[in-house]
Amino acid sequence: MSKVRLLVGTRKGAFVLTSDGKRRKWEVSGPHFAGWEIYHVKGSPVNPERLYASQSSGWFGQIIQRSDDGGKTWEQVGNKFLYDGVPGTHQWYDGTPHPWEFKRVWHLEPSLKNADEVYAGAEDAALFHSKDGGQNWQELSGLRGHGSGPHWQPGAGGMCLHTIILDPKVPERIYIAISAAGAFRTDDGGKTWLPINKGLRSQFMPDQDAEVGHCVHHIAMHPSRPGVLFMQKHWDVMRSDNAGDSWTEVSGNLPTDFGFVIDVHAHEPETIFVVPIKSDSEHFPLDGKLQVFRSRSGGNEWEPLTQGLPQKDCYVNVLRDAMAVDSMDECGVYFGTTGGQVYGSADGGDSWEPIVRDLPAVLSVEVQTLT
């Protein structure tokens, strides 16, 4: 029988939540790496028992952990993240040049073909690559070396490379997103990169057609249609039907189009989910009501999903990597909050239940469907 395994990164450790295919009863394992910030945990699609975790601390820096038994035991692997060559400068918040400094890994993306191959998205923004299970890391410096690098600027959360999407159909194609530089695409495995931000509009930018500088919060893709991308930007929900060459806004009837997460239904490539957040200065749901919004038309027309979610006095946030979908016959949808709750829906978002209520602030949620 199928099983579902949730990999939850929190402000104070990692948790592994497992359930059978019904997704009603859950076992909770953790905290793993107690006391450390776990920005992301993700499993290899090639070998689901192989997990990678980003463990970090303002005091002790970055650690990468690896598991070969689905998170029961862990082994510390390489943490030497050095920028290629002279790092140079990017823009600081006040527009002055600021040296590139490695701070942490926000996102780990295991390869679609090889369990020992994994990508890491870093703050200050850079993409690193390991071919030996995380022991050694090399920067794919063509990205940071893109001519626009000196103009990149941090968002409020730091200048982080937070999204990595590997194209399952076009070899060597990778999408990444950086807050607040924007989205980029490579078609040659990371040697050269193209900014893909046409059509994005950002109020805070004087040049509305600027090639870089947009605060992209997250991007999602359905593997059956890798040329179609959905984006939750700082403000605005966007879609692209041409691999990011251009974007159109699909915020439609959302009550607010600010937010962080976005994801796509496992079996319906035009069904997408967001969690609207009130504004960039008030990072919580509108009117204290936690609502997931679902569009079955790839955007523009949205419906609120509230059954089982708190509809009063709820002032949590849902961070950019904290939503995931499983691939069970009836798609499960999961998200975690800064209040420490992880909610799950076993019916594509129609109804929700809290799986756990009192974890540390949730930074990321990934899910594995195991057979």
Partner 1 sequence: MIRVELPQHLRTLAKVKGEVILQVEGPITLRAVLDELEARYPMLRGTIREYGTLKRRAFLRFFVCMEDISHRSPDELLPEAVAEGKEPLLVIGAIAGGLVGLRA
Q: Which is nearer to partner 1, 179 or 197 (CB)?
A: 179
Query: Which of 21-29, 186-194, 300-308, 316-324 is the region at the interface with partner 1 (rule: CB under 8 A)?
Result: 316-324
User: How far apart are alpha carbons 331 and 268 in whole angstroms?
Assistant: 9
User: How far apart are alpha carbons 274 and 209 in whole angstroms?
Assistant: 26
Q: Is 152 a binder of partner 1 (CB under 8 A)?
A: no
Q: Pattern of binders to partner 1 over 179-198, x per CB under 8 A?
A: --------------------
In terms of Cα–Cα distance, which of 209, 228, 215, 226 is closest to 172? 226
Q: Which is nearer to partner 1, 25 or 59 (CB)?
A: 59
Judged by CB under 8 A, the residue of 15, 52, 81, 119 near partner 1 is 81
User: How far apart are alpha carbons 172 and 195 in whole angstroms?
Assistant: 16
Q: Is 158 a binder of partner 1 (CB under 8 A)?
A: yes
- CA distances, 357 to each of 7, 19, 309 (Å): 15, 16, 12
Please report, as residue ranges, which positions from 102 to 131 form the binding site for partner 1 (by CB under 8 A).
Answer: 104, 106
The separation between the first and the last C-alpha atoms of the chain, rounded to the nearest angstrom, is: 6
Q: Count CA atoms closer than 13 A to 342's CA, side-chain side.
A: 33
Judged by CB under 8 A, the residue of 31, 155, 310, 360 near partner 1 is 155
Query: Which of 74-82, 239-247, 290-298, 342-350 is the region at the interface with partner 1 (rule: CB under 8 A)?
Result: 74-82
User: How far apart are alpha carbons 289 and 22 in whole angstroms?
Assistant: 27
Q: Is 156 a binder of partner 1 (CB under 8 A)?
A: yes
Judged by CB under 8 A, the residue of 43, 283, 333, 340 near partner 1 is 283
Q: Pattern of binders to partner 1 over 8-47, x per CB under 8 A?
A: ---x-----------------------xxx-x--------
Contact indicator for 153, 181 with CB cutoff of 8 Å = yes
Q: Which is nearer to partner 1, 146 or 218 (CB)?
A: 218
Handedness of CA 347, 349, 351, 353 (dihedral sign): positive
Q: Pattern of binders to partner 1 over 253-272, x per CB under 8 A?
A: -------x------------
Burial (CB < 10 A; 0-12, 13-18, 19+), residue 96, is exposed
Peptide bond into 84 cis (omega under 30): no
Burial (CB < 10 A; 0-12, 13-18, 19+), residue 156, is exposed
**14: Cα separation from own chain's centroid:** 16
E strands along 95-235, which residues? 97-99, 104-110, 118-123, 126-130, 138-139, 160-166, 174-179, 182-186, 194-195, 216-221, 229-233
Judged by CB under 8 A, the residue of 1, 59, 94, 329 near partner 1 is 59
Q: Is 323 a binder of partner 1 (CB under 8 A)?
A: no
Q: How far is the CB of 58 from partner 1 (least distance, A)?
A: 3
Please report, as residue ranges, which positions from 207 to 246 form the binding site for partner 1 (by CB under 8 A).
Answer: 217
Helices (H), the chain: none
User: How far apart are alpha carbons 275 and 319 in whole angstroms?
Assistant: 10
Q: Is 60 a binder of partner 1 (CB under 8 A)?
A: yes
Q: Which is nearer to partner 1, 61 or 189 (CB)?
A: 61
Judged by CB under 8 A, the residue of 82, 97, 245, 297 near partner 1 is 82
Q: How far is the CB of 307 from partner 1 (least distance, A)?
A: 27
Binding site for partner 1 (CB under 8 A): 11, 35-37, 39, 56-63, 76, 79-82, 104, 106, 155-158, 160, 217, 260, 283, 317, 319-320, 363
